Amino acid sequence: MEKAININRPSSADGMSRIDGRLKVTGAAKYSAEYAVEGLTYGVLVGSAIAKGSIAAFDIKTAERAPGVLFVVTYLNAPKVPGFQPDQKGVRAQLKVFNDDKIFYNGQPIALVIADTYERALYGASLVKATYNKEEHQTNLTENFGKGYPPRGDGLYKRGTEDAWKSAPIKLEQEYMVPTNTHNPMELHAIIARWDADDKITVWDKTQGVKATQHDISQLFNIPLENVQVNSRFVGGAFGSALRTWPHEIVAILGAKAVKKPVKLVLSRADMFTSVGYRPHTWQKIGIGATADGKLTGITHQAYGQTSPYENFTEGAVNVSQSLYACPNVNTKYNLVALNVGTPTWMRGPGEATGAFALESALDELSYVLSIDPVELRLRNYAETDPENGKPFSSKYLKEAYQLGADHIGWNDRKQQPGTVKKDGWFVGYGIGCGMFGAYRSGATVKATMKADGTLHLQSAVSDIGPGTGTAMVLIAAEQMGMPADKISFENGASDLPQAPTQGGSATTASVGSAVHQACVELKDKIQKLTGNSGTDNPDYAQILKQHDLPLLEVTAKSTGGEGRDKYSMNSWSVHFVKVLVNGSTGVVKIDKVASVADCGTIISPKTARSQIVGGAIGGIGMALMEEAVIDHRYGRYINNNYADYHVPVNADIPQIDALFVNKPDPILNPMGAKGMAEIALVGMAAAVANAVYNATGKRVRELPITPDKVI
């Protein structure tokens, strides 16, 4: 019990618990919607009922007269957004919401009803009527390939000979489909917006980057940067959905301006399907060729991904095929199809997760044609240097990862012949899927304050959307300072704290961690100058400050974006081993066991690292077996826009998931030797499941999710 109560005490085997774990599980952690701002009013969005066209007329009179309703904001009466320029350079919120009568997608915000209570705003919103000039919309990706266009440049990549796979002795070509997945974090997106003066604003907002949101608001509303305060102390999951500024944030700020009172806007679960991005529905085709002994000779990877009519959202879906395996001839092509939907955005393992489903499925298919074990086939095509640019990897321990995972799952029990192992009416199968993701780092600043009582306080603007950033930062400082973790605190998630990048792309530990490391180095330096010696392993900092009559010692340290990218290719790697049971009568797929192995450098915080890998594996299982946001194309409207109909895995769906780490430092990326792990935890997982289902049944499902109807 003690372990559960004393959250800061490092427990022996599995590492320190989250520094904010207790706050979160007791409800003491305050999320953006929970701030009791004085004079708060409540906004509810009204969405467009059509998918394309324009608003002919509004009838808002009844809504305005409803009890408690203060104002109904529409494009006709909304304050202007000065940052809405025709070319919109530098501002990422690119739907010019409430700017004109244009409708681009079903559910697009057309009105905000503000009332004195949430319930009255909700009722008011139900009374807003609009009529439309309807135009014919398109929401079906597969019917619109003809409208595909390259994202930028020509969208083409080539090394060696184009379509070389076609002349290979062993070859295959297949199509793969990843449907729209939505992030749907538990915490709904929410913002409280308050104007403090005509040119001063404070928001409590769910965002992965308070500095980026501050910048966007400053640009959009033409307010000096320092007059915009963005707070996002706790974030209840995001997975990419809070990586950018969205229309609802602008709308709340407009509403607060209109009523001259703070406005709280919490998206409904249904709004979450249309308002904060999603993993785009993507069709892919892979041609792959090899010699009879399993050496890859050519890969051609094409994709069509959907985007909105007003933005070209582009992700690296085909990029995995450029770097995952040693293959002399690779060409890829990526096209966008603009549909009447909101703009997609990065969702955990963005692009790579989509691409790896196709590539890792295709490689598995090839392994059966060749009759070569899928692990062995990967080893025969192991890339010792980055085949895309010829650079050495800063570190790559994927071979070690294969070995760890294969041993752990019991790969030797796998039979190459599909559909041959049956137990109690369930077919048994094993699958593997690999992932990679760039290991990034960007500049960050951390302020470290050593107080008279010998406690250390770290400050950084960075958001912590759930990976346990604060916990890792405290552990980095504890090691550097030679002091117990429970004497260190970490403050984050506010734009008036020192500069930090947006939490995304698995780069926070490398970026902010380097700044924490640097701050500790500089702090120790200061202390050594005071004491005149090189210090001991566990200095008594309180004593030192007392001796020198200092109330505190502080440093503000900057770390850079790192070095070596010109010489090295830097990536994290994962391999997922999955054992499934497939019911022979119903086609139900049960995940029996998962071993996910990551080469993500040094493990700084074992407990939260494990949670990252387990969470990513669960996300991958959802992607593989359940998740699909379905549009009724007649109306261009999502029909399963709730947690009851959009299935995500629950405890009953999740078996034993073991996270294993190679745990060898990357010598280049940062002083801790850590690489990112958020994205690779999911990349490759869906293919591992699909490949296991094939091994169990002989049924190849190339269109996610793998629902029972596709298996039997």
In the complex, least distance from residue 647 CB atom to ligand MOS, rounded to whole angstroms: 21
- By beta-carbon proximity to ligand MOS, the closer residue of 278 and 411 is 278
**Of 124, 128, 92, 127, whose CA–CA distance to 110 is shortest?**
128
Cβ-based nearer residue to ligand MOS, 243 or 253? 243
Residues 489-518 that bind ligand MOS (CB under 6 A): 504-505
Angle between helices 469-481 and 606-625 (to 10 degrees): 150
| Residue 535 CB-density burial (10 A; 0-12 exposed, 13-18 middle, 19+ buried) | middle
CB nearer to ligand MOS: pick between 348 and 378 = 348
Task: Look at the chain and count its residues.
Answer: 712
Q: Quote the least distance from Cβ 183 to ligand MOS, whole Å.
A: 8
Report which of 699, 659, 679, 640 is spatially closest to residue 354, judged by C-alpha positions. 679
The residue range among 107-115, 237-245, 259-267, 548-556 that interacts with ligand MOS, by the rule CB under 6 A, is 237-245
94 neighbors 88 (Cβ within 8 angstroms): yes
* Residue closer to ligand MOS (CB basis): 239 or 334: 239
Task: Choose the binding region for ligand MOS from 168-176, 220-228, 347-355, 626-634 (rule: CB under 6 A).
Answer: 347-355
Q: How many residues bind ligand MOS (CB under 6 A)?
A: 10
For the CB of residue 477, give the shortest distance to ligand MOS in the complex, in Å.
24
Dist CA 627 CA 311 (whole Å): 24
Q: How far apart are CA 514 and CA 558, in angstroms?
A: 9
Compute the chain's Rg from CA coordinates.
26
Decide if residue 346 touches ligand MOS (CB under 6 A).
Answer: yes
Cα separation, 176 vs 357, whole angstroms: 8
Marked catalytic residue, from 187, 365, 679, 703: 679
Q: How far is the CB of 351 from ligand MOS (least distance, A)?
A: 9
Among candidate residues 454, 509, 458, 464, the one with its CA nearest the CA of residue 484: 454
Binding mask 187-226 for ligand MOS (x = CB under 6 A): ---------------------x------------------
* Candidate ranges 140-148, 252-260, 340-348, 601-609; the one touching ligand MOS (CB under 6 A): 340-348
429 in contact with ligand MOS (CB under 6 A): no
The closest alpha carbon to 22, from 40, 33, 1, 6, belongs to 6
With CB under 6 A as the contact rule, the residue among 215, 348, 378, 414 that binds ligand MOS is 348
Which CB, 240 or 601, lies closer to ligand MOS?
240
The CB-of-242 to ligand MOS minimum distance in angstroms stands at 8
Q: Which of 287, 350, 619, 671 binds ligand MOS (CB under 6 A)?
A: 350
- 679 given a catalytic annotation: yes
Nearer to ligand MOS, 239 or 568 (CB): 239
With CB under 6 A as the contact rule, which of the stretches 49-57, 287-295, 346-354, 412-420 interacts with ligand MOS? 346-354
Determine the Cα–Cα distance for residues 219 and 217; give it in Å rounded to an integer. 5
Determine the Cα–Cα distance for residues 406 and 103; give it in Å rounded to an integer. 52
Enter the tokens of residue 494: 């506010």
Tell me how far apart the alpha carbons of residues 29 and 35 are, in angstroms, rounded to a whole number: 11
Residue spans of beta strands (DSSP E) within 421-492: 422-423, 426-438, 444-451, 456-459, 488-491
For ligand MOS, give the closer residue by CB, 505 or 622: 505
Q: Applying CB under 6 A, does 622 fall inside the site for ligand MOS?
A: no
- Among 111, 243, 523, 631, indicate the residue that binds ligand MOS (CB under 6 A): 243
What residues form DSSP beta bridges with 178? 282
- Name which of 322 and 502 has its Cβ closer to ligand MOS: 502
Choose the stretch contacting ligand MOS; rule: CB under 6 A; options: 117-125, 236-244, 288-296, 492-500: 236-244
Buried b (16+ CB within 10 A) or exposed e, 179-212: bbbbbbbebbbbbbbbbeeeeebbbbbbbbbbbb
Spatial separation of the C-alpha atoms in residues 316 and 175, rounded to whole Å: 18
* Shortest Å, Cβ 401 to ligand MOS: 22
Positions marked active-site: 679
The residues binding ligand MOS (CB under 6 A) are: 208, 239-240, 243, 346-348, 350, 504-505
